Amino acid sequence: DPEPIDLHVPDNYVQHTLRTQKELPPITWSNWWRELQYLTVAILTITPTLALYGVCTTTLRWETALFSVFYYYVTGLGITAGYHRLWAHRSYNASRPLQYFLALAGSGAVEGSIKWWSRGHRAHHRYTDTDLDPYSAHYGFWWSHIGWMLVKPRRKPGVADVSDLSRNEVVRWQHRWYVWLILGMGFALPTLVPGLGWGDWRGGFFFAGALRLTFVHHSTFCVNSLAHWLGSTPFDDKHTPRDHVVTALVTIGEGYHNFHHQFPMDFRNAIKWYQYDPTKWFIMACRAAGLASHLKTFPDNEVRKGQLTMQLKKLRRTQERLEWAPDSNELPVVTWESFQEQSAKRPLILIAGFIHDVAAFLDEHPGGRHLLVKYIGKDATTAFFGGVYDHSNAAHNLLSMHRVGILQHGYRQGADDRAVPPAQRLRIARY
Amino acid sequence: DPEPIDLHVPDNYVQHTLRTQKELPPITWSNWWRELQYLTVAILTITPTLALYGVCTTTLRWETALFSVFYYYVTGLGITAGYHRLWAHRSYNASRPLQYFLALAGSGAVEGSIKWWSRGHRAHHRYTDTDLDPYSAHYGFWWSHIGWMLVKPRRKPGVADVSDLSRNEVVRWQHRWYVWLILGMGFALPTLVPGLGWGDWRGGFFFAGALRLTFVHHSTFCVNSLAHWLGSTPFDDKHTPRDHVVTALVTIGEGYHNFHHQFPMDFRNAIKWYQYDPTKWFIMACRAAGLASHLKTFPDNEVRKGQLTMQLKKLRRTQERLEWAPDSNELPVVTWESFQEQSAKRPLILIAGFIHDVAAFLDEHPGGRHLLVKYIGKDATTAFFGGVYDHSNAAHNLLSMHRVGILQHGYRQGADDRAVPPAQRLRIARY
Ligand code: HEM
Ligand code: HEM
Ligand SMILES: [Fe+2]
Ligand SMILES: [Fe+2]
Ligand SMILES: [Fe+2]
Ligand SMILES: [Fe+2]
């Protein structure tokens, strides 16, 4: 048995590699043609060209149209449910027949063998957004979508262990016969079915073959580009991955990518039932049919923690942007005599131990000017807190904004809720 | 000039009144017919009966239908923009012509004079949900919708000053001619317009008169019932008022009632442009036309504080429901020797000064069992925090759940973020 390739990786592997490993020079106008990977370029240009030619020259029959869409989902699921969630992330166990089905379906997507694909993808997760990530989103939308495949990798992707896949019989079988499998599943089968089925050989080749493959390609590529670019970050914002329903629609459910990078070994990408994740539904159907088992989920407690943190981050920005009442220790301590004396000059009212200057509020008071004037130089605590009118929490918050002093020996601070404005009873604190 | 009626109200007015003022006995099956207010009962039963009879016996002409809907909005706005936001809450200033228009339109809603209505409504705000509130929602949906009008008030509503309205010429004029105004605006005008306009006297009386009035009545009543019963509390939850778009649709925009009770002198009920508040739009149009001025709004800073508090309340419940990592001072302090010794018996890993038991996680680790085993009895801080793999915040949170001890002299607590799981860096604290 091969031992895991990362077993002896040293403690400073990432920093050391980033610092010392040599890189190929950046792509420029003068060197790009020398740096191209001609096989990938060929596949990714010939396929859409064939598709375009076919669309312009072939009548689309509805049976072929339906079959093409169906085959798009089959080969797409080969990637999402097979390559991605099963082999790259081990998020569930699949029976032998299901594994063969997924390996065959995934071959029809013509994106490299399971082993090659998973090795890159594991590196993508392990070194997300760094130079050891083969499709780092930090180099822009087009790089992560397609650029990284068209030219020679600028660096070796970071170490990622795939010894488990090297031991897997289905993965080995697919790797070995890969060239025949892409020809068979990518072009022969989608030409044969419409050909033998309803005599539409030409439509099969162009629509279910070339056009369908173009869609599958860019659909999968969107997981690396769109999903690192468009949407929200409800679980964590340390890295680029984002959640968006549009990405999900385009990628057979892989669009909840912020969740996925936080919880990569979770067989789900969408956690709510109403979110679009057909890959998850497919896996659940396979479990129901006895073909899949051990569907992994991350503990709900930890998922919610991530969401809570992100919500608190947002609310903390609000908390910081708002103006708050001055605190006891920012205010001058005033004696009763001085309070009386000052009240003759400006409208000061004592409530819950704080002295408030209500000059600006006299004519604004919804309860009327007369009720404020009546309490100038007096303690209005009882009246304010329900004796005359049980003011709203908003009124209490507003009151605190008028604080100008604190009465000496006035109020036992901390003994009473009434000294803390309602909006300041719950605060987001940082540790 | 009359002085405000609440000027000499004592500091303990509310509690004292609730305790000492005598109440009428509760309504029962044996006394209800003696307690009815016959005039209100008559108006609120005859109007819908007429409407029903009319609907069954009269062909509806489309001109009359359109006019009825139009007149519903006119008389409805008389209540919402006039009675409610202008006179009861003084939330803006209206020119003399606008005041006459609103007084006339409001009369067509047949809900009592401005003065009587505002006095009750101010008591409703001042003593919301208590026995001094004439239509306290604590007595149930039907009581606050209509019950409170059908029987004699069980108590005098709490003191509420309306001396400003007693001084208002338009209000006095309306109060004086009120009986003639309801006959004219409630029935004569809506009969005349279709009658003279397109010869539909009968349709005018039944549809624009009786049926329209039935709708205006129950639409307004919904502000006291539905708006205290259905929806959410985004600004405060101390009292019953709630926000709901359905209530808004039914009440010409008065459905954002949670906001309204927090900020009653704000001329808006809905603060977002896309929420349905035609009464607000009408007032803004009047301002544009030079008929209204001094539209009051509550300071945005304080509105947001209310929202923040409610959101924090909700998140705090989440925070309390989740399980959190044990704190430093809940964990045993372990020496290096003891850590080594224990590690021979169970898989202990040291990270950021904490000792973790990863037995339950060995086979779950997405990075593989081998990487954990390698660090048993060792310090994996560097490897965990990016040396080998820069774990996600979720992984760090999960790690903290495996804490079983703290290393003696191990880590300067507080010196480093790595000792605090990301989800515990922001916490909602109570003061
Ligand atoms: C300087 C401090 C005060 C501030 C900032 C203040 C603020 C407010 C605010 C914002 C309202 C609107 C309703 C609400 O939000 O609950 C209000 C209403 C009222 N206030 Fe005050 N108030 C103050 C002092 C007082 C005092 C000392 C009294 C009584 C002696 C009083 C009596 C009333 C009454 C009766 C109302 C109800 C008005 C109505 O709904 O008709 N207020 N006050
Ligand atoms: C006992 C403490 C540990 C816990 C709780 C833990 C947890 C996790 C979790 C939840 C992941 C999934 C990806 C993520 O959320 O970031 C992960 C991945 C990983 N962990 Fe750990 N880990 C621990 C210790 C270690 C150590 C000591 C190493 C390295 C020496 C390590 C290496 C890795 C690697 C390389 C991956 C990436 C797997 C991949 O994406 O292919 N882990 N770990
Ligand atoms: Fe990604
Ligand atoms: Fe992934
Ligand atoms: Fe209300
Ligand atoms: Fe109101």
Check residue B410 and give its pLDDT: 77
Dist. CA A296–CA A91, nearest whole Å: 5
Check residue A431 and give its pLDDT: 86
Average of per-residue pLDDT across A395-423 = 88
Check residue A409 and give its pLDDT: 85
Check residue A413 and give its pLDDT: 60
Q: What are A293's strand-pairing partners?
A: A93
Residues in the ligand 1 pocket, defined by CB under 6 Å:
A 349, 356, 358, 361, 365-367, 371-372, 375, 380, 383-384, 388-389, 391-392, 394-395, 398-399; B 122, 125-126, 160, 264
pLDDT, tens digit, for every residue of A112-147? 999 999 999 999 999 999 999 999 999 999 999 999
Q: Is the pLDDT of residue A414 over 80?
A: no
Binned at pLDDT 50, 70 and 90, residue B3 comes out as confident
CB pairs under 8 A between A and B: 194
Percent of chain B with pLDDT over 90: 96
Give the SS3 label for residue B151. Answer: strand
Binned at pLDDT 50, 70 and 90, residue B413 comes out as low
Q: Is the pLDDT of residue B414 over 70?
A: no
Dist. CA A384–CA A374, nearest whole Å: 12
pLDDT, tens digit, for every residue of B181-213? 999 999 999 999 999 999 999 999 999 999 999
pLDDT, tens digit, for every residue of B290-346? 999 999 999 999 999 999 999 999 999 999 999 999 988 999 999 999 999 999 999
Give the mutation target among B7, B125, B159 for probing the ligand 1 site: most ligand atoms within 8 A of CB.
Answer: B125
- CA B2, distance to chain mean position in Å, is 35
Binned at pLDDT 50, 70 and 90, residue A235 comes out as very high
Task: Please indicate if any CB of chain A lies within 8 Å of the CB of B319.
Answer: yes
Check residue B286 and give its pLDDT: 98
Nearest CA-CA partner of A197 in A98, A71, A78: A71
CA distances from A115 to A134, A154, B89 (A): 15, 21, 72
Task: Please report, in angstroms and rounded to a whole number, the separation of the first and last CA atoms in chain B.
Answer: 47
Q: Is the pLDDT of residue A410 over 90?
A: no
Check residue A412 and give its pLDDT: 64
Q: In whole numbers, what is the pLDDT of chain A averaged over residues?
A: 96
Q: What are A385's strand-pairing partners?
A: A390
Give the SS3 label for residue A171. Answer: helix
A428/B428 touch (CB, cutoff 8 Å), yes or no = yes
pLDDT, tens digit, for every residue of B136-163? 999 999 999 999 999 999 999 999 999 9
Q: What are A356's strand-pairing partners?
A: A349, A403
- By DSSP bridging, strand B292-293 and strand A426-430 are unpaired
Q: Which two tokens stand for residue A34?
A: 């020398």
Binned at pLDDT 50, 70 and 90, residue B412 comes out as low
Q: What is the DSSP letter of A36?
A: B
Candidate from A7, A315, A429 with C-beta closest to B308:
A315
Cβ atoms of A404 and A357 within 8 Å: the answer is yes
ipTM of the complex: 0.92
Check residue B415 and give its pLDDT: 64
Site of tokens 């969740």: A259
Check residue B280 and give its pLDDT: 98
Task: Please indicate if any CB of chain B lies within 8 Å of the CB of A417.
Answer: no
Q: What sections of A240-373 are H helices per DSSP? A: 245-250, 257-262, 278-288, 300-321, 336-343, 369-373
**What chain A residue is nearest to B296 in terms of C-alpha separation?**
A364
The continuous run of DSSP H or E covering B71 comes out as helix B62-77
pLDDT, tens digit, for every residue of B60-115? 999 999 999 999 999 999 999 999 999 999 999 999 999 999 999 999 999 999 99
Dist. CA B281–CA A419, nearest whole Å: 39
Check residue A293 and give its pLDDT: 98
Check residue B417 and give its pLDDT: 85
Nearest CA-CA partner of B135 in B212, B14, B43, B240: B240
Average of per-residue pLDDT across A337-356 = 97
Task: Please indicate if any CB of chain A lies within 8 Å of the CB of B27.
Answer: no
Check residue B313 and give its pLDDT: 97
Binned at pLDDT 50, 70 and 90, residue A415 comes out as low
Q: Which two tokens stand for residue A84?
A: 């991605």
Distance A382 CA to ligand 1 centre (A): 12
Task: Please report, in angstroms and rounded to a whole number, the separation of the first and last CA atoms in chain A.
Answer: 47
Binned at pLDDT 50, 70 and 90, residue B2 comes out as confident
pLDDT, tens digit, for every residue of B7-30? 999 999 999 999 999 999 999 999
A401 contacts: CB under 8 Å, gap ≥ 6: A323, A325, B302
Q: At what angle do helices A212-224 and A38-57 cross, to 10 degrees?
A: 130
Q: Which two tokens stand for residue A10?
A: 């040293």
Dist. CA B268–CA B296, nearest whole Å: 8
Percent of chain B with pLDDT over 70: 99
Average of per-residue pLDDT across A250-279 = 97
Q: Is the pLDDT of residue A203 over 90?
A: yes
Cβ atoms of A280 and A269 within 8 Å: the answer is yes
Average of per-residue pLDDT across A74-92 = 98
Check residue B431 and give its pLDDT: 86
Dist. CA B385–CA A423, nearest whole Å: 37
